[in-house]
Amino acid sequence: MAAYEDMLLTIATTAALLLFVQRLAKVADQAWLQRIGWRPLLATTGWIGVPLHEGAHAVACLLTGRKIREMRLLAPDRQTGVLGYVLWEPGTGPVAWLAALFVGLAPLLASLAVMLVLAWQEGGQWPTQTTDPGALSHDLQQLASISGTHLAAGGWARTATLLRLYAMVAIAAHGVPSQADLQGTWRGLSLVLLAGLGVWGLGRLLHMPFGFHVLKALTQMCGALLPALAIAVIALALRWLVASLVPQRS
């Protein structure tokens, strides 16, 4: 029972953090655009994060057979604050719902994949054992220790580490699905959860570990996403703080 509770807690924490990060991204972007403008946003993090975000949507559309009507990987709009967009036709029915779920979450998955590569290049192991606080703490400490060693070494090692850390922050800051992205995911997410509950119930009825394996797979996916979401929270909070310190433009 404790294992089930831990896995459910990880899944619920990931869902809550995703919603919080999405809301924080909206507030931070609005504050930045109103007080500083979109040009510094593009110059600091947007030129890396926005094309990756929109490109992930486009790739997901192609993989799921969705038709793309219009795409702008980097097209800032002064009026709306939109920095890029992909317009696509979702379709109808359960398959389309699952496709919308994948397309909507694609930026987060792509950001995670890139940060995995960056963490691997840094020499550390990306923390994925989030159901074990001790293992998660160990992985984070290991990555921080390696980065600290590189920074202290100076030369190219320091430069490479600074570039990787900067890229991680820039990617995480724009890797969170927008409010519009999430609006199209709820049907697909509900379908996945209902299917998971059905498999879990069947497993309990037949006294077979179906449900445990389903929850374990979902927990592992959430475990990989949590560190990326944590980085996004830090990056967005810093963006909001900097914007809040700047006087309101008249």
DSSP labels, 101-140: HHHHHHHHHHHHHHHHHHHHHHTS-----TTSHHHHHHHH
> How many CA within 13 A on the CB side of residue 105?
19
Please give the residue range of the domain that contains residue 168: 2-36+95-244
Question: Is residue 233's pLDDT more than 90?
Answer: no
Does residue 207 lie within any of the structural domains? Answer: yes
The rounded Cα 12 to chain-centroid distance in angstroms is 16
Q: What's the domain count of the chain?
A: 1
Residue 56 pLDDT grade (very low, low, confident, very high; cuts 50, 70, 90): very high
> How many CA within 13 A on the CB side of residue 206?
11
Residue 248 pLDDT grade (very low, low, confident, very high; cuts 50, 70, 90): low
In this prediction the pTM is 0.74
Question: Is residue 40's pLDDT more than 60?
Answer: yes
Does residue 145 lie within any of the structural domains? Answer: yes
Does residue 76 lie within any of the structural domains? Answer: no
Residue 55 pLDDT grade (very low, low, confident, very high; cuts 50, 70, 90): very high
* Helices 94-122 and 210-245, axial angle in degrees (round to 10): 70
Residue 244 pLDDT: 81
105 within 8 A of 72, measured Cβ to Cβ? no
Mean pLDDT value of segment 181-199: 75
Query: Mean pLDDT: which of 7-21, 125-139, 167-181 is highest?
Result: 167-181
The rounded Cα 149 to chain-centroid distance in angstroms is 28
Does residue 150 lie within any of the structural domains? Answer: yes
Residue 58 pLDDT: 94
Does residue 22 lie within any of the structural domains? Answer: yes
14 within 8 A of 222, measured Cβ to Cβ? yes
Does residue 135 lie within any of the structural domains? Answer: yes
How many Cβ atoms from other residues are within 10 Å of residue 73's Cβ?
16
Give me the chain's average pLDDT, please: 77
User: Would you state the structure tokens that stand for residue 109, as one six-digit string?
Assistant: 């998955």
Does residue 140 lie within any of the structural domains? Answer: yes
Residue 139 pLDDT: 65
Question: Is residue 133's pLDDT more than 60?
Answer: no
147 within 8 A of 78, measured Cβ to Cβ? no
Mean pLDDT value of segment 39-44: 78
Residue 51 pLDDT grade (very low, low, confident, very high; cuts 50, 70, 90): very high
* Three-class DSSP category at 54: helix
Residue 61 pLDDT: 93
What is the torsional sign of CA 229, 235, 239, 241? positive
DSSP H or E run through 1 = none
Does residue 214 lie within any of the structural domains? Answer: yes
Taken as a whole, the chain contains a residue count of 250
